[in-house]
Amino acid sequence: MSSAEVLQGGLDLLAVALLALGIKGLSKIRSARAANRLAASAMGLAVVGLLINAHPTAVTWIWIAGGTAVGGVLGALTARLVPMTAMPETVALFNGCGGLSSLLVALGVMLAAKGEGLTPSLLVLISVGLSVVVGAITCTGSVVAMGKLQGWLTTPGWMMRRWRHGCNIALATGVLMAAVLTVVGSSDALWPLVIGASLLGIGLTLPIGGADMPVVISLLNSYSGVAAAAAGFVVGQRLLIVAGAMVGAAGLILTQVMCAGMNRSLTAVLFGGALGVASAGSKEHSEYTNIISCSAEECALTLEAAERVVVVPGYGIAVAQAQHTLREVARLLEKHGVAVTYAIHPVAGRMPGHMNVLLAEADVPYEQLKEMDVINSEFPATDVVLVLGANDVVNPQAKTDPDSPLYGMPVLDVQEARTVFVVKRSMGAGYSGIKNDLFERPNTSMLFGDAKQVLSNVLGELKVLGVGQ
Amino acid sequence: MDGFQEQLWVLLLGSLLGLELIGKVPPTLHTPLMSGANAISGITMLAALTLITRAGEDSLLLSLGSVSLGFALFNVVGGFLVTDRMLAMFRSGRKRSGGSR
């Protein structure tokens, strides 16, 4: 073993330790930021170790620099410019590129072997097959997930029919056959394998409803770890295998946690299709009666007289970019002596934890964010609940109506509070298209309009009342 | 074969480690954690680098490796930076607005 090899081995070991500590640290708020940097530096160390040992030639350096410059600059720009509301899409995009990279590496190794007239060993061929299949599914699946979240793609009608399962099974069989042929040594099967797996990624992701997309992204994130581990087997690098396996396993756990939060099983998410489409007919068209609508002035008066206010933010406030106005309202109320907290449903926003990020962006201290299990027992002692752009997560039907498609989903029991204000654009249905009984309750008042506009009106009224001055 | 067996051990232990590391995560950190783990999966950049360094003068392989490296680095650099951007926002309220109640 040369000294460069020993050095690389040492750096790799250090990198594995740092990566593990990084993932561990990312699960605690205090250490998360430092842990992220730790993981980033671990990757840097691994690259240094590899380059020391590989002695790249001048030509090689040029190609390395080119790829690094383009990928690095675009990555940095994307990370800096993308709005926080688009975080799930961004993770999906990055993830897809990781999968594509594993796929390309596997193809490259096959091309290299073909060029030298060598037949790779069986184990390498198996790894190549795995890397290609998982990499391609991750790549196209992530792109579809991103397109759906951005609203660029909708599920075509025929995709909702049952025979889409037939299509996917046929595709999967084709992919399996191509994989077997590739492993047996027929290099002609490689391109059909790439194309088949890419189509399978689309076919599996496209029918899944927008509300379930975060779970899919988390799962695809786990897949990209598996793809990285497979690529590690292809080129024979232990560090890739460890890191890929860690990400793959951690991603699976996170996916499970998310499913639990939505009361959906992973199977239902993956194979059930979009929620509510089949059952929407029964509830969607039922008319609302006894809706009480009120003005910003009334809302401000009630807030002023309250002692405990709970805000339930939904994705709607992020769309309206109202989180900053919301923070202003909360600041005035706090100065006035009102206790303001935020009830965060596990799937508020478009991804678990997404709403926390959006509120943090508006300077809301994270101590004021309460998880569902904690806040649900506090609603009976709450004076005012302000529901902003949230709908399904505050639907009492989920607990009362066994026929409802939402039945069983964990919800926030806002109806237990003395007064509930719901800020909403119109009486239109929520994401799932299901009627919300909350709006008809006698203690619920509706404030119609754009969340940001309504909040600025309330803010204005509070100032007129002299609250917090 | 020995090398392969060793790699399987590495795979097994790495997976077990990954299962253990994410025990109890506060929901606040789900999105950053996913994004951070996603950046780590860009470790395939090492495989891409290996592909380039082994390519010799073969320009097809060099460019394939380079493109692959670019995609992986897009994942890694973007992933870590965007995670950092999210985590930078989580600040404790007590430090800034103490006594405002």
pLDDT band at A108 (very low <50, low <70, confident <90, very high): very high
Q: Which active-site residues of A does the annotation give?
A: 392
Round to whole Å and give the CA distance between A207 and A202: 9
Most confident of A153-167, B21-35, B63-77: B63-77
* Residue appearing with tokens 């919800």: A411
Contact A92, B94 (CB under 8 A): no
Query: Which of A275, A293, A322 represents a domain boundary (last residue)?
Result: A275
Angle between helices A213-235 and A122-150 (to 10 degrees): 160
Asked if A102 lies within 8 A of B97 by C-beta distance, the reply is no
Round to whole Å and give the CA distance between A89 and A142: 9
- A368: which chain B residues are within 8 Å (Cβ-Cβ)? 93
Round to whole Å and give the CA distance between A389 and A350: 13
Tokens of A370: 């309460």
Residue A65 lies in a domain: no
Task: Taking residues A415-433, report their average pLDDT.
Answer: 79
* pLDDT at site A284: 45
Sheet with A339-344, edge to edge strand ranges: A369-371, A339-344, A308-313, A384-388, A419-424, A444-448
Q: Which of A30-34, A55-59, A276-280 has the lowest mean pLDDT?
A: A276-280
Contact A387, A443 (CB under 8 A): no
pLDDT band at A91 (very low <50, low <70, confident <90, very high): very high
Tokens of A188: 């002609």
- B53: which chain A residues are within 8 Å (Cβ-Cβ)? 50, 54-56, 60
Contact A228, B44 (CB under 8 A): yes
- B83: which chain A residues are within 8 Å (Cβ-Cβ)? 26, 36
Put simply, whether the predicted model's pTM sits higher than 0.90 gets the answer: no
Say whether both A133 and A203 belong to one domain.
yes
What one-character DSSP code corresponds to residue A119?
P
Say whether both A86 and A209 belong to one domain.
yes
Query: Which of A246, A275, A304 represents a domain boundary (last residue)?
Result: A275
Cβ–Cβ pairs < 8 A, chains A and B: 398
What residues contact residue A58 under an 8 Å CB cut-off, 6+ apart? none
Q: What is the pLDDT of residues A233-271, one digit of tens each?
A: 998 888 999 999 999 998 888 888 878 777 777 887 777
Asked if B46 lies within 8 A of A50 by C-beta distance, the reply is yes
Cα A298 → chain centroid: 37
Contact A310, A372 (CB under 8 A): no
Residue B26 contacts A, CB cutoff 8 Å: yes
* pLDDT at site B1: 47
Round to whole Å and give the CA distance between A139 and A97: 6
Say whether both A188 and A100 belong to one domain.
yes
Residues 53-92 of chain B whose Cβ lies under 8 A from any Cβ of chain A = 53-55, 57-58, 60-92
Domain that includes residue A343, residue range: 285-464
* pLDDT at site B30: 83
Average pLDDT, whole number, for chain A?
86
Find the closest chain B residue to A238 by CA distance.
Answer: B7
* pLDDT at site A276: 44
For B32-51, give one letter per residue: b (16+ CB within 10 A) or e: bbbbbbbbbbbbbbbbbbbb
SS3 assignment, position A113: helix
Say whether both A314 and A261 belong to one domain.
no
Residue A329 lies in a domain: yes
Which CATH number does the domain housing residue A321 bear? 3.40.50.1220
